[in-house]
Amino acid sequence: MLTSPWIAALVALFLWWFSTGAILMTVRRVDHEGAKARLWAVLWNLPFLILGGFGFLDTLGNGSIMGVYVAFLSALALWGWIELAFLTGVITGPVRQPLRAGVPEWERFIRAWGTIAYHEMLLAFTLLAMIVASYGAENSFGIWTFALLFAARISAKLNLYLGVRKINVEFIPEHLNHLPSHFRIARMNWLFPLSITGLSFAVACFLERVWFAEAQADVIGFALLGALAALALLEHWFMVLPLPDQKLWRWMLPEPPAPNTQAMKTSEDVR
């Protein structure tokens, strides 16, 4: 059954949905319990980081179908732990205050970068280490998975900075309430069409490889990547379309102890 590209695509879809929900659930449970509880949440989940690293290294020489699946899962485990560290506030950046009104654009960019600097550098370092480790390896689907997630994240963050029509702040934890002040609401920005085009091209390329790949393991690997790229494309469209995407995870999350009453500050109104 796992040899079907359709099953592989469904696996990618489920893992994207479930892992996102699991991270959000963990973050919400410790959101109001203080910095120590958030740190312990990250430490208790260290096995995912360790298993992800070992799984990635172990599958570099394994070009089988199972090796492809394990490489994909390992990259998601590495990515998920780093995202958990960010959302819990353990690894973010030196800037932890809301953006002041009226700052020049250059300062706004520097401060926005400062909110996520340590996290982004950790992601970039992890990606670089994975590239070095996987050079010339038989199974490169782990590094492709992480690189795709990294590229999609950079694109999403830049679009949020430049301005999009819809920004979902429902799941931003209380200790990261300063982040939305660095976002911008706008009808369109110059990067969004490029992001959509690039992700659409990536989906098309991966699907083309699914069609023409000779080895069944390659078919599965490119099906996983194609589904992941399609999900990244969908997440970008969520920024401009009035769709209730938060309902995908809201039902599985515990209710927050208190409503978040801090209004999101924006540096540009919708025109």
Tell me the per-residue pLDDT of 44-76, one tens digit each, with 9 for 90 and over.
999 999 999 999 999 999 999 999 999 999 999
Under the banding of pLDDT at 50, 70 and 90, the label for residue 152 is very high
CA quadruple 212, 214, 216, 222: dihedral positive or negative? negative
Q: Residues 176, 91: contact at Cβ < 8 Å?
A: no
At 267 the pLDDT is 43
- Rounded CA-CA distance 21/15 in Å is 10
Asked if the model's pLDDT at residue 82 lies above 50, the reply is: yes
Of 235, 239, 237, 238, nearest in space to 185 by CA: 239
Q: Residues 228, 16: contact at Cβ < 8 Å?
A: yes
- Rounded CA-CA distance 73/78 in Å is 9
At 260 the pLDDT is 47
